[in-house]
Every structure is written in C-alpha cells, then in structure tokens.
Structure 1
Amino acid sequence: MNNSYDQLINKINEFTQKFYLNKLLRGSIYALAIILGLYLLMFLLSYYFNPAINTKTFLFFTFILAGGFALFIWVIKPALLYLKIGKNLTIEQSAILIGDHFFNVKDKLLNTLQLKALAEKSPENSMLIMAGIDQKINELNPVPFANAIKLTENKKYVKYFLAPLSIIILIGLIAPSVLKEGTNRFVKYDQEILPVAPFKFIVANKNLQFTQGEDAVIKLNLTGNEIPQDVYLSDDLNTYKLEKTGKTTFSYTFKNIQAEKKIAFTAGGFNSKSYILVVNPRPSIVNITASLKYPAYLNKAPETVQNAGDLLLPEGTSVTWMIKTEHSSELAFILGNDRHNLAADKGVYSFTRSIKDNSSYLIAPKNAFSASKDSLRHQLNIIKDEYPSINVVESPDSLSSKVLYFTGNVADDHGFSGLVFTVNVKENGIIKKVVKKSISIKKNQQENAFLYLWNLGTEDIKGGQSLEYFFQVSDNDGVNGPKSAKSEIKVFEVPTSHQITEKLNAGSANLKQQMEKAIKLAADVSKESKKLTETLLDKKRLSSEDKK
C-alpha cells in the first residue's frame, strides 16, 4: 500500500514541476516581449527626439527597472520554484490544481490525502482506512496528472515578443543608423550626443579651469570642409557672439568671472556639446586683528586693533596677528625678509612677534589653485625709547670754599631708573676710588628738578689728589636695558700743604701791599684835604676885604 501511495505522491510532484516549468516558459516570453518593446520605444525616442540628459537618464532607468521587475516576476521567481528553492506548492495545493484539470478525480484525490493523514492519527483504525486508500489509488492510477499541463500552448504567446523583435530586425536592415545611433544615445544616457556637423568644434584652451575674479578667455577652433562665418556661445542666461580672430579661430572673454558656467557653441545650425567652465575660489583675507602687548615698563594696557594695517608701536611691543580668510589652505606671513608658512587653527591663522625695529609685513593666503591678489605690504613704524637728558648748574658757597651747590633737571620719554652723583678720586692720573651717591627723584615722571649740596670737607681726600665729578641719569628702558646721560665732567684739584702755605704767604704779602697803598692813599687824602682847607680860608678872607 505504501508503494502505491508513494507513486501517487510522485505523480503529484511531477505535475508540480511541470506547472512551474510552464510558468517559466510563459514568463520568459512575457519578459522578452516587454524588454524588446521597451527597447524599441527607447532607441526610437532617443534617435528622433534626442532628449536632454535628464530625460535620457529617466528613460534609461525606467527601462532598467521595468525590465528587471519583469525578469524577476516572470523568469527568476518561477525558475527558483522549479529548482525547489523557496516556498513551493504543498501536496494539497497541487491536488486542488490537478482537480481543476480533471474534475472527476478532484474529490477522490483530496479524500485519499485526507484518509492518509487520518490513518496516521488513528493507528487503531488504520487497517480499515488503508483499505479505503488502496481502493481510491487504484481508481486514480490511470489518470496522467502531468498531461494536464500543455507546454505547447505557449507557442501562441510567442507572437508577443516576435512582433517587437521583427520590427527591430527590420529597422536594422532598412535603417541601420537609426538602430545604431538610437541605441548609442540611449545607452550613453549621461552624455550629450549631438547631430553630426560638417565641421568640428575644438576648444583650444588647455583646460577650462579659471580662478575667481580673473578674465576667462575661451578659444575655439573650427575644422572641416564647411566653416561657418559666425559662432555663438550660450550659457544658462545669455547668448554671445564670438570674436573672429582668424579664418577658423574664434574667442570670447568673460570678464571677472565669479561662478561656474555651463556653455555650448552654436554655428551653422549645429550645436556643440556642453562644456563646464570651472571657477576655482581665490583665497582672500576676511579680517586681520592685531593684539598689542606693550613692554611692562611702559605701564600701558594691552590693546586690540581691528582690521589692522600699518601700525605705530613702541619698541619691544609684542604683536599677535589673528587672520581670518576664505578659501585658503595655507598662509604665508612675510615679516621683513623672513617668510613664515602658517597652518590654520579652527579656520584662523595666528602669528606673534616682538617688534623692535621699523619693518613691514605681508600676508599672503593661498590654496591649491592660486595665491591671493589682495596681499598688501603694511608698515610697522617703531617709536624708539629716547636717551635721557640732564642739565646741571654749579654754584659755590659764599662762605665756604669747600661747599658746592648744584641745581639741575632731568628728562626722559618714559621715566627713570636712577640719578647718581659720581666722584672719581684720582692721584697721578690714576683713579684710586669711586664714590657714588644716589639722588632721589620721581622715577615715573618724565621730568624731574633736583638740588644737591656737596661738602668736600666730608670726603676722605688728601692734598695733591684731583676729584673728577659729574651727574649720571639712567632711563627705565625695559627692552634694551637702561640708557644713561652724563652732565659735564668737572675737576676739583685738592691743594697740597706747600700750595696752601704759598697761597697764605701770597695772601699776606698782598695784604701788606694793599695796606701800604691804603696808608699812602690816606696821606695823599690828608694832604689834599689840608690844601683844600687853606684854599677855602683864603677865599673867605678875600671876601671880607671886598665887603669893606
């Protein structure tokens, strides 16, 4: 009984396989018909209407999607089922399909399958059930299930793909250029294919890449047997006539080109393919900020200069330039004759230097295409720290030759670090000792007046020595170190004992001489006085006699 049932199942499986084979054959015919029909339509549209690239792209991928969908539904899917890959029909579903072709066996076939399932569930009644199954199998054995599928019936569907195929072959024989050129335009969906002209458009430019802001000169040559007199260039907005520069050469200039353009040429009723004018960005400087940090001794708060250019700076100022650019990959900062290539940090370039001398700087951003045309050389003018000045007036004391008074004033542009009175004690031209005395002044002021008394009696000196003395003022230059200025250097000679004695003796002799002169002068005065008295008496006597 099991052998009979297995044979029945095999007959059902044969039917199922032939069922899928039939679907595969018919589906292949349908798929071919759709693909050939679409192909015929596409190459005819491409040849006669020469659609734009966007339209051709849409048609091409519509063809691919529709053809792929047809192949999957009508060819690939039944082929996989025929190979028993995927979810096939169950025995019961196949039995129903067989019953649709052989109506008199439909119920018997289904009952047989149901009884078999019942026998497996009820072993106690299996003998009786199996007897019924055998009887039904004997009735079904003569029926050829597989013959229900007629593969030859697919011949009537062949006409569906033979029709477009025949038209394609006929066009290929009668007008092969239509088939060839139409297919070429359709397949090259992303290319612009134009009607063949009796001449060629040849762009003479080495490349069509330009830098933003420059003049883009387009050069065109025409070659062929028939050369038109006029050539026009069109972009997305306008049409321009090219200047004829030779028998077959033409040119046109886009002034100060700023953005990419798509252009094409027209001459003699024919169009060229499209060309793209690539405009590479030019690097440019958006903003320059200079942060100024002044030397500490100036006591000046830091400053920030926006849109920095030329700068006037105190000597030793530390300057940090922050440079923001557009479309730059690197930046050259040229300070004087020194070039520094900078890399950006978060889109900003920075450079720091302490400036001590007059100089200039140049900022030049660049990218892979060009350097900036906006680079300007800016001046750095430095205010040097000036030398201090000093003026001193010396006055001797009226009562003592050992005391000298000094009055003076000092001046500097930024203040002082000190004022010193210096005495070099010399003996026989050799400095034996240096004495320095600081004088108090207001160091933060630009001018100071001072008064100083020098008592030589307090100095540890001896006769025969010379005292070289002067005042020295120093400024507070925190960059180069303090600079100094001296007053006039004067010398005081300390007399020896012998010189003092000679001076005293000379003084006594001089005094004696002066006394003798005074005595003589007094005698002369007395003599003259006596003589005057006598004269006056004589005049008085004469006057009395006259009255008589």
Structure 2
Amino acid sequence: MSDFQVVENKLQQFIKKFYINELIRGAILYLATGVFYFLLVSGVEYFFWLPPVWRAVLFWLFIAIEFSLCFVFLLRPLLKLLHLQKGLTSKEAAKIIGRHFAEIDDKLLNALELKEQSKESSELLLASIEQKAAEIKTVSFRRAINYSKNRRYIKYVGVPVLILLFISVFGDLMTFLEGYKRVSNYTQVYQPPAPYRFVIINDTLMARDTERFVLQVKTIGQSTPKKVLLTFNQQQYVMTEKKGQVFEFEFEPQFEPLRFQLKTTTVSSPTYTLGVLKTPQLTRFSMAIRFPPHTNLSPQTYANTGSARVMAGSKINWTVAAKNTKTVLFSTKNDTATFTKTQDTVFGLNYTAKSSMRYKITPNNEDVGGYEPLAYQLEVYRDESPNMDIQTKKDSLNTQVTHHRIVLSDDFGLRDLKVVCFPQNNQNQTQTVKIGLGEGLVQQLFYDFPQGLVLEEDKAYQYYFQAKDNDQPNGYKTTKSEWFGLKTTTKTEQKGEILGRQQEQISALAEALRLMREQEEQSKSIQDQQKQSNSTDWQQEKATEQLLKQEKQNAERIKKATEQIKDAIEQIKEMDPNEDPYQEALEERIKEQQEALKENQEKLKELQDLQDKINEEDFKQDLEKLAKQQKSQQKSLEQLVEQTRRYYVAKKTEQIAAALKELGEKQIEAADKKQANQEEALEAQKQLNEAFDDLKKEMDQLEQENNALKQPMELPRDPSQEQEISKEQQKATENIDQKDQEKAKPAQKKAGEKMKEMGQKMGAQMQMMQMESIEEDTEMLRQVLDNLIVFSLEQEVLMEQILGEGANSVQFGQRINRQNTLKENFKHIDDSLFALSLRQPTMGSKINKHISDAQFYLDKALLEFADNKLSQGSASQQYVFANANALADLLDGLLTQMEQMAMSMPSPGSGEGEDGQGFQLSDVIKEQESLQQKMEQGLEEGKGAPKPGEGEGGQKGEQGQGEQQGQGKNKGDSGASPGGENSKQGLEQNYSEVLSGEIFEIFKQQQQLRQALENKLNALGLTPERKRLLENLEDIEQKILDQGYNRETLDRMRRVLHELLKIKDADLKQGQEEAREAKTSNTEYPPRNGQTIDSSKNYFEQLDILNKEALPLQPYFKKEVSRYFKKDND
C-alpha cells in the first residue's frame, strides 16, 4: 500500500471520529434542552391549569421542538456518520487537520489537490504526492478530535437537574410532573385541586361495642380549614381541632355500623363506614369455696371477685355469665383450662386448691380474643401442725413432781394431747397419759408429771408431750415437744428431801420466835410510855404503827412456815401411812397455831383501825389484850418450834436408818453383780463410798440439830461401826483398783451387811427411845396431875376459909400469904407442864389457855385482896379453881391417852401376822382388778361420797381410845381426848349415813385383801418394796373412806395392781434369771382434775386465754387472730 493510501485511510478515520464527537455533543445538548423544555411545559400547566386547546397547542409545540432538537443534535450527525447524508469532504477535513497540526499545514491539502491532478500529470507529480504523503503519514489525525472537550456542555444538563432537585425539596415533584400528564391528555378536562384534603389517621375504622371510638382526621394542603364538620345520622357535629392540623371526634359506643362524611365549606370527603366489633363480656361472676370437712368452716361464696385466701384441699367452683362469648379461658403461669358451658350464657369450672397462684379469666369470641382478662390472686395456706408452748417448774415441796403449763393452739382444732413416758434409752417400754382437752383453738392446760404414770423407784425416765390436730385428710398432723427427764428416787431419798425443806421452815419459825420476843419488849416499852404520859405523842404513834406493821409481817412469816411444815408432814404421812400419834398430835397442834395466828391477825387489823380513828383509851386496852394474847402465842410458838424440831430429829433418824438399809442392799448387789468393765465397777464403788460419806455427814448435822434441842434426845449412833464400814469400802475400792474384783466382793458384802445391821439397829434403838420417852413423859404427867389436884383442893379450901372468915379476920394476912404460896406452887406446875409440852405436842393450846388464865386470876386475886376487895378477890379465886379443874380434866384425858399409846406400841423387832397358808397371789390380783373395775364404773356414773369432817375421824381409826375419866368436878368438852373414839367400828357407825353402801362395800373388801396380802407377804419375807405396797393399800382404804369415788384413788389402785403383778412374777421366777421382753403400754390415763390443776396454776403466772368456739371470721382475719395468740408471753 502506498503512502498516499495510508494517508487517505487515516483521513477517513478522522472524519468518522469527527461525527461521533458531533453525536456526543448533540446528545448532551439535546438532554439539557429537552429536559428543560419538558420542565417548562409541565411548569406552565402546573401553574396555569390551561384549558384543553392551549394544552393541545402546548403539547404539539413540545413535540415539534423536541423533534427538531433531536434532528439537529442527534439525527443529522448520525446520518452523516452513516454516510446517508453528505458530510465533510477530504479537502475540508484536510483543512481542519492542517489547522490543528502546524507541521502538516497545507501539505495534506496540496497532496489531495495534486492527486486530483495526477490523472493528467506525469510520474514526477506522482512522486511528489508520494513524497508529501510520506512526510505526513506518521501523524495521527485522530488526535485532532478530543472527546473530553464535550465536558463543558455537561453544565447545561445541570440546569434541569437543579430545577428537579429544587422542586423535590421545596415542593411536590409528583404533583409538579402531573402537569405534563394533563398536557399529554389534553382532551380530558381537569379541575384545579382543592387547597387541602382529608386524611384519616386511625389504623382501622373498626370500633368495639363497649368502647368509645375517637376519629382522628388530618388536613393536608396549602391551607387549613377553620372547622371540620362530621355528618352522620343526618346530623352534623363539629370536630375538635388539635395540634398539627388534626381534628378529632369521639363516638359513643356503637352497636351497628355507622356511615359518616367529612365536610368544610369548600371540600367534602367520600362517605366512610365505621364498623362495629361485638366484644365478649362477663355479666356475672362468682366463686364458691367448700373448705375441708375437718375445719368446720361453712362454705363461702364470693361475688364479683376471684381473690381469696383458702386452705389447701378446698373445692373451688367458678361460675360466670357472659354475652357475645364463645369460650372462657382459665389461665395461670404454667397452665390453661377452658370453662365448661353449662347453659347458653353460663360457664363453670371446678378446681381443688393446691398452691398459691395468680390466674386470669378471659372471655373470647370470633371477633375479639383475650379482651380485658380478669386477673386475681389465690392464696393457699396449709393446715399447720399444732403449736405447743410449755413451761415447767419443779414442785417446791416434792422434787419428784414437775408442774407443766401447756399453751396448746391449732388453726382449726385439736384432737388429743398425750404424755409419752419411757425409761431412758428404752423407747420400746412406753406409757402414755391422755390429757383431757377443752373447747377452743387455743387452750391452757396443766399437767403434773408423773400423774397417771407408774414409775419404778431409782430409775431415769424421759418423757415428752405429743399433740395431734383434727386434720384427718393429712393423717392428723403431730407435734412433739422437747424431751424432759426425771430421775426417780426411793421413798427414803424423797423423805430426806422433805425433811430438808422442813428443817428450813423450822429455822424460819425459830427466827419468827426471836422477832416475836423483840416485839414483846417493844410492846412493853410502848405501854410503859403510854402509862407515864396522859396523851400519845407523834413518836409513840409512829413507834406503835411500826410495831403493828412488824407484827403483821412476822405473822405472815409464821403462817407461811407453818403451812409448809404441815405440807411436809402430810407428804411424810402419805409415804409412811403407819399410825404415828406424835405426828398426828403435831398436825393438830399446827392447826391450832394457825387458828390462833388468824385471830391474832384480825386483832392487829382492829388495832390499826382504832389507831386510825385516834381512840386512845380503846386502843390502849386492846393493845394490852394483844400483848397478853401474843405472850400466850409466843409460848405456844416456842412449844411448836421445839416439838417440830424433835419431830424432825426423830424422822430424820428413821430416814437415815432406812437409807443405810437401802445403801447396804446396793452394796451387796454391787458385790453380786459381775462387772465386765473394771472402770465401771470402780466408779460404782466410789459412788457407794460417797453415798455412805454423805450419810455420815447427815448424821453429824443431825447431832447438831439434836444438841440444839432444849432436851436433847439420845441418838443411836455407833462411830466404831461406821469406821469399820468405811474401812471395808476402802478395802474393796483398792482391790477393784488393782483389778481384783473377786477379792473385793467379800469386803463389799461385809460393808453392805454392816450397813443393814447399822440401819436396823438405829431404827430399833430409836423406837425403843421413843417408847422410853413416852413412859417417862407419862410418869411425869402423872406427878404433875397429882400436884395439880393437890393445888386445886388447897385452893378450894383456902377460898372457903377466906369467904367464911372475912377480911377482918386476924388470919386474913396468913391466908393471903397462903394464896401467894399457892401461886408459886402453880408456877412450878406451869414450868413442869411447859417442859413436858416441849416433848409432847398433844399438850395443845387449850392447856396453855387454862394455865394462862389461872396465872392471870392468881395475880388478880392477890391484888384485889391487897386492896381489901374481898368479893372481887374471891371471884378471882373461883376462876383459878375452875381453870385448875378444867386443866386437871384435860391432863387426865391426856394421861389416859399416853398410857394407851405406850401399851399399843410394839416392842422393837417384833413382827406380826400369820403364815397365810392356802392363800394365792392370783386370787388377790383378781379381787383387786374387780375392785378397780367397780371404782372405774362408779366414776363413769358420776358417783361419789362427801368427805367426812376433818379432825373428827382421827387417823385411820386404828387407835381406839376409851372414855376419859376426869378428876375435877367440871369436865366439859375439854375432857375428851384429841381424836375421840377412832376404832373401825366407830367409823362404820359414823360414816354409814354418809357413805353409800357400794363405797363402804369396796372399803371392806379392800381391807380384807390388805390383811390377807399382809399375812402372805410376811411369810414370803417383808422387803421394803412389799412394805410400801401394804402402806399404799392402807392409804387406798383411807382415801375410799374420805373421798369415795375419786380419780386419784383409782390411780393408786392401778399402781398397786402393777406392783402385785411384779410380786407374782418374781415369786414364779424365783431363783431364775429374769428375761423380760420390752412391751409398750398403750394405756391412757385421764388426768386428775380439781385440786391438782389448781395447785399447778399457782406455780405459773396466770395467762388468760379465751377458749371460745371458732369465730366466723374470714381466713385472713383468722390467721391474724392465730398469730396474736401465738405471741410470746413477755
């Protein structure tokens, strides 16, 4: 290819690129002008809303202009590019290229012109053309066209774009563009838009028939109307204007669909329809509750509420009435249930309360689901276990008795309360006592342990209280108290404790006696001051007031001490019911002292009243009388203190003797018992050693008490034997310590035998000493009585002499001297009787009274004779004579009683009873069971017998006394001996009118059984346990006579029957090792009532509890009441 042809090809490429560049520039300019014209047409229509004609002109003018612009800018360059239209010639193109490239200039144009001439020229011309073509063929003609220069035209496109953005930001672009739409549809008639339009803001036009519906409308446009009218049901309503061009109207609940329209003066909306949804509704709601039967609560019904507090196990029935409702749902946190439709509009659901919960009841239908659920709370509580609050106090007089106050409560009711008792570490052998309950949810009960139980001596027991409620569905819930313990003691140990407390009260009486003597001195001082002065000053009044106050306090001290001494004697009497005349007389003496003390307190009160009334004369006279009365009381108290001390020494000696025998038995048992553990054997022996040392200390203390007596007794004690026992015990201890138990056994047995021998010797010597003491006192009383009779006769003779001779007789002075001698003789009689009364409590207050009166009238007679008052002196002699005769009568009766007492006392060591052959224990057991059944039957039928008067029956009627033979002329009532005729025959005669035939028959059968059993036990061997059994039988006889059908007597019968069975078992298995199978006793002993409970209450502060029927309270309030009663009693 020639160079010229290459230039021609490049020239053609330049022309092509030239027209492509023209096409690009045209497209840009067409877009800018076309869009701008489009916006211009739309803007004209948007602003002017042209009629159809003008819109047609504008449309076709738009089409024509747009087509022209398209032809100029797009079609013409395209046709030239496609050579469909003549375009640039080669020369025109060469000129353009020449202007662009300076190195080419006219070379390309000359080459073309030469080419045109080459057809006619020579080869030289062709060579010239080739030369020029060769010079320019290396230049790229395409570089003369730069597409990037078209960028400057893009700015014209930015004008319409900015216009579109402006309209979009500050106006409504779509509304603006609708102008072209109306221009294109120039045939259609368009109306200019309103200045605003209505838009309903509500999500839906559906209203519930139970609720108001608030219609919210917003106006959108160039302006906002001043008011908007709402038209429905041919009525117009003005809507309320809110912020933000919003209008509202509240419809009342509608039951049918409603058509409405929005209007202003210039604009009206289409017709809208407000639809109505039928909502489910509960018209009636109730909840019926049936509580568990054991609560005794009446069924309750709650209307229009579902919240309640119910007990677990309660049956609940919900009943609802509803309209527009298809289903009713019951839902909790974890479960859902559906009510059962019982009628067209009634639904029901049953439920058993188990635990507390929150629940909802929701009505539903096809249109509305879960509409306004009713939320409630059900609080479920459980029947609580019984609650026990127990307070315990030891009996102040008997350490074997523990008083319990039990405050028992339950939320709905109590079934029973029991005491469960068993030996320590052996719950298989239990006894139970059922304590009677009253009415009420909160009860205060009292129980004295071991009431109703049969406990063995010297054994550790544990017990607790067990209460059950009435919750049968849950198996009667049980509450157990803490465990209590008691170590039973032997009767000997109990007797020692009682005597120890008695000793304290004797010391209190002695202190009261000392204070009484001091008060006597103060009283004398006050009386002397009053005699010296005519009037009472302030200091005397204060001293008198203080004296009366001290005497009152001392009287209370004496009263308390005598009561406790009397209780101690009663306890000793119950433990040892054998007849003890000294003890009986001491009881009577204490009773007399208490009566005198009561009179003294009344007199003190009268004196205080007189002092307040400032009646000096009466007060002085009564103060003198009180001084005289207290002097007599002081003497009586001094006698009582000494008598009580002697009683204590005697009983303490008996108790130590019995303790020695028991300790000897234990020592022998320790020798016979084979201890596997050497340490246990050593410890057991050390305890026995300590026990004997304690007994020696008690004997030392007893000697001190005895030496404190004004007339000490000769106590039976053998120090050498005590040393031998201690040596044997020490020897046994050393052998055991050296692990030689076999070698220790002889020493142990020897020590035990010596203890028993020592105890028997002490008891026998004490009994002998008491017999000798009675004989000595009897002889002394006989001498005193003889002297008193002589005094009485001489007083009678002297009285007749003075009356016969008169005051003018020369022998009148001798008679007065004789009267003074008789006074001194009577003082000796008084001293002798006082010394005797310190040993004999039978010499009571009556004797003291006659002695005091006789002394008073002896002094008075001498004073009156000294004043020559013969008649008054003779009258005083008459009183002396009368009191001496009465005193002689009393002493004569007392002498006879003491003589019989000495004759009736058995000699030491003597026994009684027959062999008892042919007698079987099983027969006695059967008869005793029969008597027990009769007693139980009598109690169930409510039978009983009144108690005979105290002080008239004597002590068990076993010591019959004959009629007293007085020595004086005037015998009176005082001549009878204390106790009167007490024989069994006398009892039958005196009580036959009171006791029923059944009770007396039981008494006789019980007496016969005791006598038969006594004969048998004497034959078998009278051990301490069997002796106590006989004593219990005697006590039962007395209880039958005194109290008739009685719960306490029945308890004693049960214990006796238990002991009889033990004796029978021991008799059958004698010589064999006893292997007992532990059994549980389920016998329930009802508690004693009456005095036992009353005495228990005195040990506790009173806690008033209203034991009422369950009040008809709501469960919440019942819970609060229960919480109140459960508070600690601070």
TM-score range, shorter chain: 0.3 to 0.5
- Structure 1 or 2, whichever has the larger Rg, is 2
Between Structure 1 and Structure 2, the one with more helix by share is 2
